[in-house]
Amino acid sequence: MGIQTTNPYTNKVIQSFDEMTDVVVEKAVATSHDTYQTWKHTDFFVRAQVLHKMAGLLRERIDSLAKMITLEMGKLLSQAEGEIKLSAEIFDYYAKNSAAFLADKKLDPWHGQAFIRYNPIGVLLGVQPWNFPFYQVARFAAPNIMAGNTILVKHASIVPQCGIAIAELFKDAGAPEGLYTNLLISGKRASALVADKRIKGVSLTGSEEAGASLAAQAGKYLKKSVLELGGSDAFIVLEDADMDKTVEWAVVGRINNNGECCIASKRFIVVESVADEFLAKFKAALSKLVIGDPMEHGTQLGPLSTEAAAVHIAEQVQRAVKGGAKIILGGKRVDREGAFMQPTILVNMQPDNPVYYEEFFGPVAAFFRVKDEQAAIDLANDSPFGLGGSVFTQDIERGKMVADQIDTGMVYINHPTWTQADLPFGGTKGSGYGRELSALGIEEFVNKKLIRISELSDPF
């Protein structure tokens, strides 16, 4: 397929791009390395000026940037606009708070004085996904630029215009050349770049396969890495949940971003006493979704990102059925042009089903009824993933106790897994490691240097 914009609403190729040559990539890495030598000495005010300007430009250009997202990967236009707003918030957040986050941390040793100083480490490589083409970059670039690092990004090959636009925004925001660089290269070439001694850390959001490959390279060359991989978030409904509000959030949790979201609600686990009510209302709500052009504000479910993605999830559903699952809603491609998939509910999924442990990256929900709270917890944890999850109950203390037993990086009570600038984001198990956003996100790619002050007579 190469690097190209294909509108998933029509499956028509809009524009193709040539990969950068090795000479161009080498110059980009060298420039980023050279810029780091000066950028690491800039103060927080100088760095913050660039990020605040980025936030302002995102807001000024929201209409054109949102349409670009929708054109390239099919996100509903209203959600694309929301992504641009969130990205601007992230840039502003780190511009405002990084000096406090990275202030020297005083320690209290037995003798003398000591403190932790946070130093940047150098050029960082980010491999970013297509499903949130601006937000994903913002949450990687903003904290690390404020920390004093410089950034190289290999963006997903299906959103090249978004990747180019972000680099142009940085330039317009007054960023020095080499502070942020977009690389139009393949994933294989990006992985090979990890060996470059000038690159000091790597971050990837994507599939488990891509993450394992990049992490192997990072380990081989002793580079710090952060991975945010797939997810199969559980949406637990207890018997005392506000059912109507819970169903509303269930729809949002499953079809946000057309279902192509790592933290989307994918496994709906409902206790027996309210299972029939939830399922009936959930099915009715999904069946009423307006499917159509993602550029139209009345559309509620757009196409998947690519035709290949639509083919894959339709085949995945069929494999689930062959393995014993039953379709009670949807299950097929939408009979129209474009990369569309019907909203789908699968029931009777058992552990021996070949897709039981797979992630459904699209508008497909797996429904499970369980006898009680403990069974819900056990089923939620029966997954190779550990990104997010949610618990619905009107007893908040009970919700906290359940959340404490879920093996994921994030658990939300009475809301699907979500994201915002001031909350940490990341998972465990097969969903990766490390954290992005909040104060934790700026601490991943810094040297937490101990400085110890002693008197000459100090015995230690």
Q: Active-site residue numbers? A: 228, 262
SS3 letters across the chain: CCEEEEECCCCEEEEEECCCCHHHHHHHHHHHHHHHHHHCCCCHHHHHHHHHHHHHHHHHCHHHHHHHHHHHHCCCHHHHHHHHHHHHHHHHHHHHHHHHHCCCEEECCCCCEEEEEEEECCEEEEECCCCCCCHHHHHHHHHHHHCCCEEEEECCCCCHHHHHHHHHHHHHCCCCCCCEEEECCCHHHHHHHCCCCCEEEEEEECCHHHHHHHHHHHHHCCCEEEEECCCCEEEEECCCCCHHHHHHHHHHHHHHHHHCCCCCEEEEEEEHHHHHHHHHHHHHHHHCCCECCCCCCCCCECCCCCHHHHHHHHHHHHHHHHCCCEEEECCCECCCCCCCECCEEEECCCCCCCCCCCCCCCCEEEEEEECCHHHHHHHHHCCCEECCEEEECCCHHHHHHHHHCCCCCCCEECCCCCCCCCCCECCEECCEECCECHHHHCCCCEEEEEEEECCCCCCC
Find where tokens 């934790």 sit.
Answer: 440
End-to-end Cα spacing for the chain: 62
Q: Which amino acid is it at 407?
A: D
In sequence order, which residues have a C-beta less than 8 Å from that of residue 449 and are 6 or more positions away?
116, 117, 118, 119
What's the rounded Cα separation, in Å, for the pair 358 and 317? 11
